Chains A and B, each alone.
Chain A
Amino acid sequence: MSRLTNKPVLDGDPINAASLNTRFADFNQTTLNEFNVRDAAIDLPQFTTSKFMAPQMAVAQIGHQDWKHAAYNTVVGQTTPSVPHIIRDSGGTPTPLATGGGAGWTISPDQVLRVYWDLSVRPRWAPGNPWRGTDIEWTFPHPAGAGVATCSNGTVCWAFWLQVDVTDASLSNWVDVAGQDSFGTVVTGGRGGNLLANCQATSIVPALNQVASTPNNGKFDGPQTEADIGWTSVDGAWHWIPGAPTTIYGLRLVCTGPLAAYHAASNWLIRVDPALAADAELDYNGGSLQALVMRLQ
């Protein structure tokens, strides 16, 4: 539509030829400028082939595809997370998302990369409460008046995050995406971990669900038998606007665990728990990884 520039005829306006002619001339001579013809007169049907909003899209199946969980991959607990587990198919081959058919996608600062993924997972433990007496328990008052009771604080988990290849289409030069570290920074006692601020592409799966047995006014006598997490899903969303034009050739999903909460010197962390690693396992099946490049405006 065109922009109105004159007020309408109102009650009490004089009726004469000059004023009416002026109004007709105003309407007829509306300029065919960019506002009237372009900015204020377009909608989506006119973008049938231009890929204007989202010039690039891609999707890949990741992991071991078997939705009935008849067979699955298993990750054992890691004590040194600097080499995380790469999500693989049933034959053990990593399942990255290659972008641009070898040419990659060059993303400019006026674009955003949107990445979404999901995966079917099952955290589990060897029998016998392997986490007891470790760094993931908190101690509370016992109702008998003496002694204490402990229970898992519920922070123990597996972490998933994205890696990207910005080198070439060989997909052999993977690095963590911006804002994300690989839980390999030594936090304390040789144990690796991340500041929570460096977990910007991290998605968490709980590894343990344990509660206190019938607490009464803030006291309890011990933990209740834990409930298995069972098969569940984990998903993630990550958005990135580059500071300079950057070509990405692929994206992949990796994971590590078990991890748990820790803080020291005003740093909030999530760190590796090697005492739990031998008994912690994570099964996973399939999922998908999608990416699209979208104009910011």
Chain B
Amino acid sequence: MKKWTQHQASTGLAVDPPLVNDELSAQQSSATTIDRAQLPADWANQTRLKDGALHRVWAAAAFPVGGEQTTEVDAIVPPMGWMSATLQIQSGGWTSIGPAPITLTGFRGGNLFLEWSCNVWVNNIFVHGINDGRPYSPNYMRLRAVVNGTVIGERRGGGFHQTSRLIANAQLPAGDLSVDLQYKLTSPSEDWATNLDFSVGNYHAPYGHLYANRYLIIGRFR
């Protein structure tokens, strides 16, 4: 059973609001709730507990629609490549993979766990450039997750055509959350070609793409 944690007011004490508030609060927690020891072991089971009391899962098998990044899509690329980010259209900074962030409605405060899986491809043809200030440094498709404007996880990402996964978590207060999944390509050097040779067509050189993007997010509220 719970025990009293506040003493009764005694002679000589000054009269002030916290004195009575503390006593009332102590009484409330002691007299009007049931101690857990009084409950059966399975009293809060699958059929009795309200949805969302403990946790909530948000998942998408493909995000955005089709699972491909849709923000930087250059159509003037060779057939043996994807319509993807090129130097002609790439922003250079962190770029969202879709047109809108993920909205998590009903987050009640606690731990947010995030898994973002995807396949990435990065053009590494020009990494040995002789004028490059960092020759032989591979290019990477860096990944990060931003929740309500704050980065909660970042990863160097893949350097070839390969699978990548970002796992992050954060303690967050209650309230709806906005989750943005972003990527950033390594900045180009002057040795990177912007176009393929004109003998094969007026094609821009693709530099990076993401597809099969999917996520699983779990909010743990207690």
Q: A: which residues have CB within 8 A of B? A: 1-2, 4, 8-11, 13, 15, 20, 23-24, 27-30, 32, 34, 36-39, 41-50, 52-53, 55, 112, 114, 135-142, 148, 151-157, 178-179, 195-197, 199-206, 209-220, 224, 234-241, 260-264, 266, 268, 294-297
Contact = CB atoms under 8 A, between A and B. Distances in A.
Interface in B120-137: 121-131
Contact of B194 (A34, A48, A218, A295): A218
A297 B51 contact: yes
B54 A53 contact: yes
Contact of A43 (B15, B124, B222): B222
Contacts, number: 260
Nearest to A229: B160
A153 B54 contact: no
B61 interface: yes
A178 B128 contact: no
A215 B79 contact: no
A216 B129 contact: yes
* Interface residue SS majority, chain B: loop
Contacts of A178: 61
Contact of A48 (B20, B41, B59, B200): B41
Given A46-B36, A238-B117, 4 more contacts: A32-B34, A38-B44, A200-B212, A238-B61
B49 A215 contact: no
Contact of A200 (B21, B54, B61, B115): B61
A36 to B, nearest CB: 7
Contacts of A34: 50
26 contacts: A2-B32, A8-B21, A27-B24, A32-B34, A38-B44, A38-B49, A41-B33, A42-B222, A46-B43, A46-B44, A112-B59, A135-B80, A138-B205, A140-B196, A140-B205, A154-B122, A155-B81, A196-B211, A210-B125, A215-B126, A218-B192, A224-B128, A236-B163, A260-B80, A266-B75, A297-B52
